[in-house]
Amino acid sequence: MGDLKVVALRTIKLMDLTSLNDNDSDETIIELCKSANTVVGNTTAVCIYPRFIPLAKKQLRLQGTPDIRVVTVVNFPHGNDDIDIAVAETKAALIYGADEVDVTFPYRALIAGNENVGFEMIKQCKATCGNNFLKVIIESGELKTEALIKKATEISIKAGADMIKTSTGKVLINATPDAIKTMLSVIKKVGAENSVGFKVSGGVNTVEDAKAYFMMADSIFGTKWTNNNMHCRFGASSLLINLLHTLDKDID
């Protein structure tokens, strides 16, 4: 098997197959769930808006893939600094049946110099999640500087995040190699590689993009780390088509 085919297989098994569009419908979500069950194996999860969680759970059960996790988003994509609302949204998502929650870090507050609100939001959202997985979207493209990206990553880890995620995919600049390297380096520096994972989202559109990320992450943590879906994820939608094309497979 060729190198890119190996990368494609690795990536599919680590994907949060995503649909977070304003025009999403029941039909969109049903098709997303079907697509997550590929001919070469399932994606780790589907990532959808909260209102679609019960539908996704039902469809995954009906198609015989109940182990595919359902991820949803809160405080998204705006990254506001209202902790009470973020916690309330997290509670609602869990009541709907979410397996994992992706919360947007209050990045504008951090840019303005307020480090505490981000810490408290993540801490309280994680307390609400309990054993459910909490990912924190730091919106690296809006933070821009290495110092702020480091700070948001450090705060999120200290506050109890299970995974750090680059981007919402809703801003002009999403995941970049520099931001990814910075975030991975922080996880390594603070010794959190066994307890905190990393999700690259936005900007990974081809198998070549995925390969570049794997090379970076493998060099820091090793392939065992990056093959574990509790440590490594890709948040993507159109990427799946490219990966299956690389494997000479159809999406259906």
Catalytic one of 16, 102, 162, 209: 102
Catalytic one of 57, 126, 165, 209: 165
Q: Is the peptide bond before 54 cis (omega within 30 degrees of 0)?
A: no
Kind plus residue range of the DSSP H or E element containing 110: helix 107-111
Asked if residue 29 lies in contact with residue 70, where contact means CB atoms within 8 angstroms, the answer is no
Q: Does the active-site annotation cover 67?
A: no
Residue 138 burial (CB count, 10 A) = 29
Instruction: Point out which residues pair with 163 in neighbouring strands.
Output: 135, 197
Q: Does the active-site annotation cover 58?
A: no
Catalytic one of 99, 135, 199, 209: 199
Tell whether the torsion through CA atoms of 49, 51, 54 and 58 is positive or negative.
negative
Which 8-state DSSP code applies to residue 191?
A: T
Burial of 3-41, coded b for 16+ CB within 10 Å and e otherwise, reads: ebeebbbbbbbbbbbbbbeeeeeeeebbebbebbbbeee
Which 8-state DSSP code applies to residue 50?
A: G
Q: Does the active-site annotation cover 249?
A: no
Active site residues: 102, 165, 199
